[in-house]
C-alpha cells in the first residue's frame, strides 16, 4: 500500500481530490493532511481514519512514513513546495502548472532526477480511459493520418460556480484567466495526442470587464477582470498538422464538441462540455479507403465513470508501484507551460512564437 500525504486542503482538495483518494481503496493510504490553516487540516484529516493533521511544510517534510505527496498549494508556490517535497525524499504529484516559467520548470525536473524521485503534474487528461482510447485509435490508424483538431472549453468562470468555496476573483486576475484554468486541459490533451507543438499564435482580450458574483455567500460582489477572458490560439505541429483552441470565461454555455480530432479517414469527437475527460465514449466517424465506402457516426470507446481528479492519484500510485509508465510527465507539463507562456507573449506582441521545449510522447512513436 502506497502511503500518501496531501499538501494544501483548499476547495479543489475537498471537492475533487479527497473523493478521488477514497476511491483508490486499499491501493493507497492517506497518512497526513497539511495546510497552514489548522482547522482545514483537521477537517481534512477527519476524512481519513488514522491520518494526521499538520500545519507546516516543515512538519510534513520531517515525516519518514510517506511515499508520495499530492501538492495542491496555490500555483505561485509550486516551485518552492515541490522542491522541498522532493528534497525530503517524496515522490510528487503537483497540480498545474508545474512552475511559473520554463526555467523554473527545468530546475524542478533536474532536481527530481538528482534525488531519484518521480515528479508528475496535472492535469491527468492523458491518464483517463477516454483519452487513452482516442490515443490508441490514432495509433491504430482508425481515422487515418491525423491532420488537425479543434478544442474548446468555455464558461463564465468561477464567479458563477455556486459550490466554489475559494476566492473566484483570483481567476480573473493578471496571469490567470481561462488559459491557465481551462486551456491547460486542452493544451495537455492536444500535445498528448499530437506530440510537442512547434509554434503558437494567439489572440485574446477582455470581453466582459466586470463580473457580478452569483455564489450565494458572495452574491452581488463585483470583480474587475484583468486577464483576457477569451483566448484563441493556433498550434503548429510537425508534419503539417494544426490545432485550434478556444478558452473562455465569457461564454454562458455551448453545444459544440469540446474536442474533435480529424484524420484523413475519420473523426473522433467528444462532447460533454466540462466533463469531456470522463470516459463516457467517443463519437467516431469513419469511411473506408474507397470513394464509395460506408460513412457515418457511431458511439464507441470506453464506458467509465472515472473523473479526471481520480485518474491522477490512481496513475500516481500505479507509477510509484512500478505498475505503469508515467504519462503525466513533468517534461510534458513543462511543454504545456511553454505553450501557455508563449500564447500570452503572442497576444501582447502579435507574433507567432517558436516553442523552446520538447518531450517524448506516444504520438512520436
pLDDT in tens, 180-190: 888 999 999 99
In angstroms, the CA 351 to CA 10 distance is 38
Catalytic-role residue among 22, 96, 117, 222 = 96
Residue spans of the chain under pLDDT 70: 272-280, 288-295, 363-365
pLDDT tens digits, one per residue of 258-304: 999 999 989 999 986 656 566 567 888 887 655 555 567 888 877 77
Task: Give me the phi and psi of 152, to 5 degrees please.
Answer: -150, 130
pLDDT given at position 256: 82
Q: What b-and-e string marks burial along 162-184, b requiring 16 or more CB atoms within 10 Å of the CB?
A: eebeeebbebbeeebbbbbbbbb
Q: Is 96 a catalytic residue?
A: yes
pLDDT tens digits, one per residue of 196-239: 999 999 999 999 999 999 999 999 999 999 999 999 999 999 99
pLDDT given at position 159: 95
Q: Report the alpha-carbon angle 159-163-168, nearest 5.
A: 30
In angstroms, the CA 20 to CA 43 distance is 17
pLDDT given at position 179: 87
pLDDT given at position 229: 96
pLDDT given at position 188: 96
pLDDT given at position 120: 98
Domains belonging to the chain, first-starting first, are 2-121 (3.40.50.720), 125-305+329-364 (3.30.360.10)
In angstroms, the CA 80 to CA 299 distance is 45
pLDDT given at position 290: 52
Find the length of the chain.
Answer: 365
Closest to 101 in 3D by CA, of 357, 360, 361, 359: 357
Amino acid at each position: 500500500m502506497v502511503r500518501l500525504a496531501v499538501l494544501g486542503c483548499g476547495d479543489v482538495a475537498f471537492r475533487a481530490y479527497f473523493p478521488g483518494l477514497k476511491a483508490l481503496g486499499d491501493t493507497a493510504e492517506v497518512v497526513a493532511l497539511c495546510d497552514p490553516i489548522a482547522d482545514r487540516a483537521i477537517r481534512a484529516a477527519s476524512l481519513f481514519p488514522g491520518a494526521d493533521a499538520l500545519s507546516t511544510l516543515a512538519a510534513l517534510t520531517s515525516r519518514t512514513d510517506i511515499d508520495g505527496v499530492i501538492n495542491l498549494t496555490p500555483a505561485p508556490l509550486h516551485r518552492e513546495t515541490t522542491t522541498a517535497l522532493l528534497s525530503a525524499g517524496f515522490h510528487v504529484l503537483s497540480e498545474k502548472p508545474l512552475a511559473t516559467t520554463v526555467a523554473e520548470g527545468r530546475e524542478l525536473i533536474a532536481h527530481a532526477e538528482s534525488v531519484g524521485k518521480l515528479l508528475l503534474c496535472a492535469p491527468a487528461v492523458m491518464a483517463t480511459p477516454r483519452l487513452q482510447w482516442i490515443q490508441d485509435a490514432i495509433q491504430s490508424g482508425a481515422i487515418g493520418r491525423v491532420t488537425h483538431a479543434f478544442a474548446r472549453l468555455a464558461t463564465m468562470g468561477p464567479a458563477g460556480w455556486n459550490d466554489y468555496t475559494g476566492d473566484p476573483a483570483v481567476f480573473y486576475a493578471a496571469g490567470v484567466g481561462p488559459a491557465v484554468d481551462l486551456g491547460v486541459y486542452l493544451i495537455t490533451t492536444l500535445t498528448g495526442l499530437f506530440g510537442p507543438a512547434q509554434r503558437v499564435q494567439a489572440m485574446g482580450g477582455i470581453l466582459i470587464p466586470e463580473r457580478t458574483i452569483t455564489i450565494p455567500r458572495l452574491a452581488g460582489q463585483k470583480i474587475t477582470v484583468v486577464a483576457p477572458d477569451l483566448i484563441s490560439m493556433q498550434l503548429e505541429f510537425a508534419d503539417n498538422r494544426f490545432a485550434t483552441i478556444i478558452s473562455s470565461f465569457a461564454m454562458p454555455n455551448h453545444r459544440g464538441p469540446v474536442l474533435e480530432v480529424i484524420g484523413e479517414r475519420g473523426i473522433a469527437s467528444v462532447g460533454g462540455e466540462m466533463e469531456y475527460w470522463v470516459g463516457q465514449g467517443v463519437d467516431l466517424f469513419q469511411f473506408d479507403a474507397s470513394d464509395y465506402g460506408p460513412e457515418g457516426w457511431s458511439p464507441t470507446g470506453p464506458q467509465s465513470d472515472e473523473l479526471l481528479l481520480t485518474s491522477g492519484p490512481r496513475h500516481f500510485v500505479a507509477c510509484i508501484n512500478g505498475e505503469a509508465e508515467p504519462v503525466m510527465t513533468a517534461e510534458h507539463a513543462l511543454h504545456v507551460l511553454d505553450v501557455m507562456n508563449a500564447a500570452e507573449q503572442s497576444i501582447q506582441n502579435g507574433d507567432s512564437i517558436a516553442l523552446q521545449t520538447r518531450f517524448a510522447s506516444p504520438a512520436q512513436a
